[in-house]
Every structure is written in C-alpha cells, then in structure tokens.
A and B are shown apart, each in its own frame.
Chain A
C-alpha cells in the first residue's frame, strides 16, 4: 500500500514535470505570435476597472490633449494689483484638487474624435492579436498585440518610425465592447512615459461600420 502511494506520488510529479518540459519545448518552437514570455509578462496586473480618468502621471504635468477643445474657461486668477483682505478666508482647496485630477493621461474617445484624430495624422495602435490585425485594421495603424511576446519589439519599431513625444496623442483601439486590450496597452505605454493616450472606445468594429479607411494584410 505504502509502495503504491509512493509510486502514485512520483507519477503525479512526473506528469507535472513532463507537462513543464513539453510547454518549454513547444514555446521555443512556437511562432512569435503564439509565444509567451515565461517571466516579465507584458500584461499588467488584473484590475477591476480600466484605469482611465483617474490616474495622474508622475513627472512634469502634461499639456491638455490638443484634440479636445477646452470646455471650460481657464481658472480665473486674481489680478496682481488686487490686494487680499486680511479677513478673507483662504481659497477653498477643491479647485486645486480638481485641477490636479481633471487631466487624465488615458482618456476614452468616441468614433467622431477618432476620425478627427485620424484626419489630423495622429498615430494609431492596434492592440488586438496580429491575426485579427491581418484580417483588417485602421489604415496606417501599427500592430501592437498586447498578448503576444513580440509586443515590445513592435513598440520599439513604432517609436523608431513615428518618434512620438511623451505628450503627443496616440490613439489605441481593439475590438470595442468589453475588449480591454487597448486599456492594457495604454497602461503599458503610460508606464513608458506617454501621457496623452486616447482609447477609441468602440474600436475597429465601429470604424469599419462607419466606412472609414481600412487596410488588410500582415503587420
């Protein structure tokens, strides 16, 4: 009985070991689109909600996105010659806090805003799988599949070709709906120092439905 239990335990371990070895080998032999990095996952930590509208980037305060016309007048500053009275209570804190959180480095945009960005020559990044990109993508978009192992290489070639500044707008899209690949790619780019990331909320299906320019083919 003891012998049987020991041999079963050894076989359980052997099965796990063989699975690990087979996974290692198959991952080496797989194409870049089907390969995964064992460590250093490109996917950020799971989170309950997409990180939009809330985060304030570290470092220098970025300029507001150029695509969105300012909806409110700039905060009124008191004239230099006005002398504050001693009895005047200190200005309330909320306006300052509001100013700090009003700008978000990751912002969702509509189809109309995406089209305006396209017409003004803004770079587009496609966060979907490379196979989906090959089936059809926004004309001129760069393939940056967040779940594939070569996403970093693709982003390097994108940066080398387009040389986007940290405050230049970049439109990121995936399949719309509950697709969160574009949010993941935006989080990755935010960590790399890009502060004007525009997520095309409805993604490629909406773009194609609107009849906007589409291309096909391998990235």
Chain B
C-alpha cells in the first residue's frame, strides 16, 4: 500500500469509527440469538451445511462469541484478537451464504434473529445484499486489524526508528 493511501486508510479516527461500528453490529446481532438459541439453531440447520451434532454447540457459543468480540471492539480491549475473530466469522458467514446462493438454495440469513416469512425470490435477493454487507464489514475488520498491526509494528513506530539511529 502506498504511504499516502496507507496514512488515510489507517488513520486513528477511521480506526475508531470502524471498530465501534463493527462492535455495535456484532452486539446487535448477538442479542436476539442469545435470547433464543433454538431459533438460531433452526436458522443454522436451514443452511444445510453443518452436521446435526454441531448445530446446538454452534447455536449456543457463536452468539456469545459475537457479543464478546463486539464488546471488546467497542471498549477497545483486546482489539486485535476480537477483530481477528470477527474477520473469521464474517468470512464463514459469507462462505455459507455463497455456497447456498451458488446452489440456488434460499435461506433466511439468521444474522439478527428470526425474520418474517419471505418468498424464495425475496430470500435470494436478501442473501445477495447480506453478502455485500458482509464484504463491507470485512473491510472494516481488515482496517482494524491492519491498524492494530501497524501500531504494534516497530518499523512504523517513529520513536523506535529514532532509538535505532
């Protein structure tokens, strides 16, 4: 990345906005699922990607992981670890949606709890939008991860370079 572009992309204010936005989205997504795990298990089951034994553990643990990562990002604690989990989760969600889109199997996203009944065409259209939203959120997660990496990197730390010279 060019230095000027890098300077803008990794600006501390942008990082702050990105991690708080990401954190709030994940907290909002986690709460309805924590409130009703059977509903989330049913949503995961509808994806037809996971074996039966994994449905309940996933439905129980994933919302708490989302909540903890969301809280960590909002509060500025363990940012790198939380952003790493968020990126992994977003990649997994995107992959699950893509597979179902590719095989023309409409599913409710289940991202923010139960949704109103929809037609197959509405579901497929929603899946495309959700995929697009996941890509946007993934960009935010990448920004937070890169910013935290550059903050920890001694090469980019001017004080460290001064000390060397």
Contacts and interface: CB of A to CB of B under 8 A. Distances in A.
Contacts of A34: 35-38
Interface residues of B, number: 42
A36 B56 CA distance: 6
A56 B154 CA distance: 68
A149 to B, nearest CB: 8
Nearest to B80: A8
B51 interface: yes
For chain A, the bracket of interface size reads 35 or more
Interface string B23-66: 00000000000111111011001111111110111011111110
A11 B55 contact: no
B84 interface: yes
A27 B60 contact: yes
B32 to A, nearest CB: 12
Given A1-B154, A30-B37, A15 B61 contact: no
A214 interface: no
Interface of A: 1, 4, 8, 11-12, 14-16, 18-20, 22-24, 26-27, 30, 33-39, 41, 43-48, 129, 145, 147-149, 175, 177-178, 181
Given A14-B81, A26-B60, A43-B42, 17 more contacts: A11-B78, A16-B65, A22-B64, A22-B68, A23-B63, A34-B38, A35-B37, A36-B38, A36-B56, A39-B53, A41-B52, A41-B56, A46-B47, A129-B39, A147-B38, A178-B120, A181-B42
Interface of B: 34-39, 41-42, 45-53, 55-57, 59-65, 67-69, 72, 78, 80-82, 84-85, 117, 120, 152-154
